[in-house]
Chains A and B, each alone.
Chain A
């Protein structure tokens, strides 16, 4: 049942041009940055040889790309998540799901899985760029894996937050703007100095170690907790929708 909803979600995304445009724009921008990083690497190469324990290709070329990708996607994910529930409410198609013999939990998990599938496709496409380097050099595949997991978890958290904010309103614009605001807040929250609590709440602060290949359970749990929290809140919200109007 979850899979049925997820499949329709992803089909609808790719039936509208939005998903294609998002994939194309991100691929183009990051492709350009990828080229620039490679050129940089060639300039740096002579100095690197003289260094002991020099950073490798993965650190110099790939990690910065994904660090930038995180910021770009922070602005783009709200556009994807905004329609998930707000559009269904606006068009009253949510009644179809409410009248079907499925639970709210299945409904929300189906929606979330649909978003997660898109995140997976997006991240896999981005991974193709670094993997193309395998033709000419050696890569740290462990680090690459850590970057991949980090990206999926980060975007998965974006998606969960976006899904929740989309359940609060029937206006897609409001859903998008509030999601963007929330994600941006969770990024800049670490800018205050010496505030360990704020630093702990920051999405980006937990993403950075994964980019560097540090696979720590604290960071992983942080992302999983964010995802569970916002999926749970969405279930609560939709359940409450039936009670009050």
Chain B
């Protein structure tokens, strides 16, 4: 099944997708593709249009313009075929509080046309994946938020869809549960595609192959996770001295771009020269600065994220101020 002819065609193809709510443009000209077996992190601050995009991809919301193709089926023209390829966990897990876990999952399995003969098997697999084996007979309304979230995820996996879309799956969970869910997402990525929408950056770093950052409805960054990690590597370090030199003295060193003071003995230095650390150590020894700390700073996804999203903001603010 995995080596069918259409292995090369993308599983998800989104073309110039836009959505308006009245006058506000929630999503603007979104384009991307997702291949089979990829985990895509959909990143953005609150209200960036993540959920709106997810809702459109799953057919919960009709796009104002644009086209979405899932596994070769258009979501508007062939909704039933397209939807049967998707497992979707919305922002709020769509669970019925008055049903037990088993009753609920049976209902979901039937909605996804799983034949009665395979129903039991599907239920067991989904519960195993989400760690729900011991909660089968409990009412969903009596479960904790974390377990309700797991039931929501189990619902998205029960028909073993090739594409799983999770909208902020770790919101409201405790750290241990968050780790478990991340592990689950990683294991899902082995044999199916996942779209993960979140505003939590380590989640993306931990689980995704591909990262997209969306801001005010527009895609502002699209790269593989390696590319993103490379971008953040190495031109920044923190140094601490017992007898700190003048700021001007530090700035004069070869290759320094910018020096900022953290506290009276610590400095953050941005540089472009590859051997800068060596130069700094030599200089520190010969001038007796008393260097006792030297930490290379890898700027994290978080900083890149802030950098990308706020520069956009300040540009706009500047425009607004000018107007």
- Write the residues of chain A forming the contact surface with B, with a CB cutoff of 8 angstroms: 1, 4-5, 8, 11-12, 15-16, 91-103, 242-243, 245
Question: Per a CB cutoff under 8 Å, which of A12, A95, A101 touches B81?
Answer: A101
Question: Per a CB cutoff under 8 Å, which of B81, B95, B99, B113 touches A1?
Answer: B113
Find out whether the CB atom of B80 lies under 8 angstroms from the CB atom of A95: no
Find out whether the CB atom of B86 lies under 8 angstroms from the CB atom of A99: yes
Interface residue stretch chosen among B53-61, B211-219, B253-261 = B53-61
Tell me how many residues of B have a C-beta within 8 Å of chain A: 31
Residues of A within 8 A of B83 (CB): 99-101
Question: Per a CB cutoff under 8 Å, which of A1, A12, A103 touches B98?
Answer: A12
Report, nearest first, the 8 A-B pairs whose CB atoms are least far apart: A96-B94, A101-B84, A100-B111, A4-B110, A93-B94, A101-B83, A99-B88, A95-B90
Find out whether the CB atom of A242 lies under 8 angstroms from the CB atom of B80: no
Q: Most chain-B Cβ atoms within 10 A of its Cβ — which of A1, A8, A99?
A: A99
CA of A34 to CA of B138, assembled, Å: 43
Q: Mark B95-139, 1 if CB is under 8 A from A, else 0.
A: 111110001000110111100000000000000000000000000
Main secondary structure of the interface of A (DSSP, over half): helix
Find out whether the CB atom of A98 lies under 8 angstroms from the CB atom of B59: yes
Question: Per a CB cutoff under 8 Å, which of B61, B98, B111 touches A102?
Answer: B111
**B46 adjacent to chain A (CB < 8 Å):** no
Residues of A within 8 A of B88 (CB): 95, 99
Find out whether the CB atom of B80 lies under 8 angstroms from the CB atom of A99: no
With contacts A15-B98, A242-B62 taken as known, whether A96 is within 8 angstroms of B80 at the C-beta atoms is: no
Q: List 6 A-B contacts (CB under 8 A).
A: A1-B110, A92-B91, A96-B155, A100-B111, A101-B80, A242-B59
Residues of B within 8 A of A96 (CB): 94, 108, 111, 155
**B172 adjacent to chain A (CB < 8 Å):** no
Q: Mark B59-81, 1 if CB is under 8 A from A, else 0.
A: 11110000000000000000111
Question: Per a CB cutoff under 8 Å, which of A5, A100, A243 touches B112?
Answer: A100
**B92 adjacent to chain A (CB < 8 Å):** yes
CA of A243 to CA of B108, assembled, Å: 25
A90 to chain B, nearest CB (A): 11
- Write the residues of chain B forming the contact surface with A, with a CB cutoff of 8 angstroms: 21, 55, 58-62, 79-81, 83-84, 86, 88, 90-92, 94-99, 103, 107-108, 110-113, 155
A122 to chain B, nearest CB (A): 21
Find out whether the CB atom of A92 lies under 8 angstroms from the CB atom of B81: no
Find out whether the CB atom of B21 lies under 8 angstroms from the CB atom of A245: yes
CA of A196 to CA of B141, assembled, Å: 52
A100 to chain B, nearest CB (A): 4
A128 to chain B, nearest CB (A): 28
Find out whether the CB atom of A92 lies under 8 angstroms from the CB atom of B90: yes
Find out whether the CB atom of A101 lies under 8 angstroms from the CB atom of B92: no
With contacts A12-B96, A93-B94 taken as known, whether A99 is within 8 angstroms of B60 at the C-beta atoms is: yes
CA of A77 to CA of B79, assembled, Å: 34
Question: Per a CB cutoff under 8 Å, which of A4, A94, A243, A245 touches B111?
Answer: A4
Find out whether the CB atom of B21 lies under 8 angstroms from the CB atom of A242: no
Find out whether the CB atom of B90 lies under 8 angstroms from the CB atom of A103: no
CA of A16 to CA of B99, assembled, Å: 10
Find out whether the CB atom of A101 lies under 8 angstroms from the CB atom of B113: yes
CA of A242 to CA of B56, assembled, Å: 9
Find out whether the CB atom of A242 lies under 8 angstroms from the CB atom of B60: yes
Residues of B within 8 A of A103 (CB): 79-80
Residues of B within 8 A of A12 (CB): 96, 98-99
Residues of B within 8 A of A242 (CB): 59-62
A93 to chain B, nearest CB (A): 4
Residues of B within 8 A of A94 (CB): 94
Residues of B within 8 A of A100 (CB): 83, 108, 111-112
Residues of B within 8 A of A4 (CB): 107, 110-111
Q: Most chain-B Cβ atoms within 10 A of its Cβ — which of A5, A15, A101?
A: A101
Find out whether the CB atom of B95 lies under 8 angstroms from the CB atom of A93: yes
Q: Most chain-A Cβ atoms within 10 A of its Cβ — which of B81, B92, B94?
A: B94
CA of A15 to CA of B98, assembled, Å: 7
CA of A100 to CA of B114, assembled, Å: 12
A30 to chain B, nearest CB (A): 28
Find out whether the CB atom of B112 lies under 8 angstroms from the CB atom of A101: yes
Given contacts A4-B107, A8-B107, 11 further A-B contacts (CB under 8 A): A92-B94, A93-B95, A93-B96, A94-B94, A95-B94, A99-B88, A100-B108, A101-B81, A102-B80, A242-B60, A243-B62
